[in-house]
Amino acid sequence: MRIGVLTSGGDCPGLNAVIRSVVHRAVVDHGDEVIGFRDGWKGLLEGDWLKLDLDAVSGILARGGTMLGSSRVQPAHLRDGVERARGHLQDLGLDAIIPIGGEGTLKAARLLSDSGLPIVGVPKTIDNDIAVTDVTFGFDTAVGVATEALDRLKTTAESHQRVLIVEVMGRHTGWIALHSGMAAGAHAIVVPERPFDIAELAAKVGERFSAGKKFAIVVAAEGAKPREGTMSYDEGRKDVYGHERFTGIARQLSIELEERLGKEARPVILGHVQRGGTPTAYDRVLATRFGWHAVEAVHRGEFGHMTALRGTDIVMVSLAEAVETLKTVPEERYAEAECVL
């Protein structure tokens, strides 16, 4: 068989581990040929590719980012390019494409699959917001980076008797905020799933100072918003792909909390550091398993599906089901964390 691989959307630690695993399973065990498209769907639409053999993927398991490059593509552009993609597939003699990506990529994969292209997807995202899989690779690494940052920030916050508001990624879900906040023992966490009341947040932080503590750490998911009418709030803009560009909830909260509490407050935006660098062992293993199972699904002809983790098993789920809803943090998780507003 001849298989094409691509990575699309925001990168995340573990992408290279999937690429390596696909090549190993396909080339070594099945005698397939594998090629990689450069820079996501763009490479497929423009016919820009490279051969992926064992040498090409040597040494990439632990490397962050993606050796193939990534990009985002506007859905309309992709829709217009379906026939071009089909043409490249035929010219290259490809039997299947394995796109590795998050919500946007999986929606695009579904579109191409519905047009009759042989697609087997692999989900990825640090946000952990894909509903049909227990977890996505990249999440564990991002939580680890954010937790280490929070641990470090505690010491400087204490030295200066400050409130630090630490903004983490996650788009419309609070998974990274919840897990890193719990792991680091944050004093308050705000998440997009539950709009917060600024008066309650100020009271919670204030109580800590009244109890004699010298500092406080607030973890704010980038998509967290105040309850309507409780605080003026600068809404984010959309980028050209229709994704929200978050405007800095940490900055806005630091101004508000400083005023309400009379304590120095500083925003810290962790940003893309959460997506960079070496994947954890957990993410490498999950990514490797996803790659292995994606190749098996190709050989079974299970197109229009993607890999997912359920318990300890890797299962195949239809792309249609995969893109139906986002996985948000369920209500019962807030109580366990104790400090979610």
Choose the stretch contacting ligand F6P; rule: CB under 6 A; options: 119-127, 203-211, 257-265, 293-301.
119-127
In the annotation, is 283 catalytic? no
Determine if residue 219 is labeled as part of a ligand binding site. no
Which residue in 171, 225, 284, 305 binds ligand F6P (CB under 6 A)? Answer: 171
196 DSSP assignment: B
Determine if residue 235 is labeled as part of a ligand binding site. no
CB of 265 closer than 8 Å to CB of 163 = yes
Nearest to ligand F6P of 206, 236 (CB atom): 236
Choose the stretch contacting ligand F6P; rule: CB under 6 A; options: 20-28, 164-172, 261-269, 326-334.
164-172
The interface with ligand F6P within residues 96-115 (CB under 6 A) comprises 102
Q: Does 179 interact with ligand F6P (rule: CB under 6 A)?
A: no
- What whole-number distance in Å separates Cα of residue 69 and Cα of residue 87? 22
Which residue in 3, 6, 10, 40 binds ligand F6P (CB under 6 A)? Answer: 10
- What whole-number distance in Å separates Cα of residue 190 and Cα of residue 279? 26
Structure token digits, residue 307? 């890999």
Residues 6+ apart with CB under 8 A from 255: 265
How far CA 52 is from CA of 27, 44, 208, in Å, comes to: 9, 15, 56
Q: Does 275 interact with ligand F6P (rule: CB under 6 A)?
A: yes
Find the DSSP H helices in the chain.
15-23, 30, 41-46, 75-80, 82-92, 103-114, 139-159, 175-184, 198-210, 249-261, 281-300, 319-322, 332-337
Determine if residue 74 is labeled as part of a ligand binding site. no
- What whole-number distance in Å separates Cα of residue 98 and Cα of residue 169? 26
Nearest residue to ligand F6P by CB is: 169
- What whole-number distance in Å separates Cα of residue 118 and Cα of residue 200? 52
Binding mask 206-235 for ligand F6P (x = CB under 6 A): ----------------x-------------
Count of residues binding ligand F6P (CB under 6 A)? 10
Single out the catalytic residue among 11, 32, 127, 283.
127
Q: Does 70 interact with ligand F6P (rule: CB under 6 A)?
A: no
Nearest to ligand F6P of 102, 144 (CB atom): 102
Determine if residue 325 is labeled as part of a ligand binding site. no
Nearest to ligand F6P of 33, 39 (CB atom): 39
- What whole-number distance in Å separates Cα of residue 15 and Cα of residue 234? 34
CB of 192 closer than 8 Å to CB of 170 = yes
CB of 116 closer than 8 Å to CB of 315 = no
Task: State the minimum distance, in angstroms, from the CB of residue 247 to ligand F6P.
Answer: 12
Choose the stretch contacting ligand F6P; rule: CB under 6 A; options: 91-99, 168-176, 280-288, 294-302.
168-176
Q: Does 125 interact with ligand F6P (rule: CB under 6 A)?
A: yes
Burial of 285 (0-12, 13-18, 19+ CB in 10 A): middle
Which residue in 43, 81, 99, 170 binds ligand F6P (CB under 6 A)? Answer: 170
SS3 338: coil
- What whole-number distance in Å separates Cα of residue 253 and Cα of residue 236? 15
Active site residues: 127
Binding site for ligand F6P (CB under 6 A): 10, 102, 125-127, 169-171, 222, 275
Give the residue numbers of the binding site for substrate.
125-127, 162, 169-171, 222, 266, 272-275
Give the residue numbers of the binding site for ATP.
10, 72-73, 102-105
Give the residue numbers of the binding site.
10, 72-73, 102-105, 125-127, 162, 169-171, 222, 266, 272-275
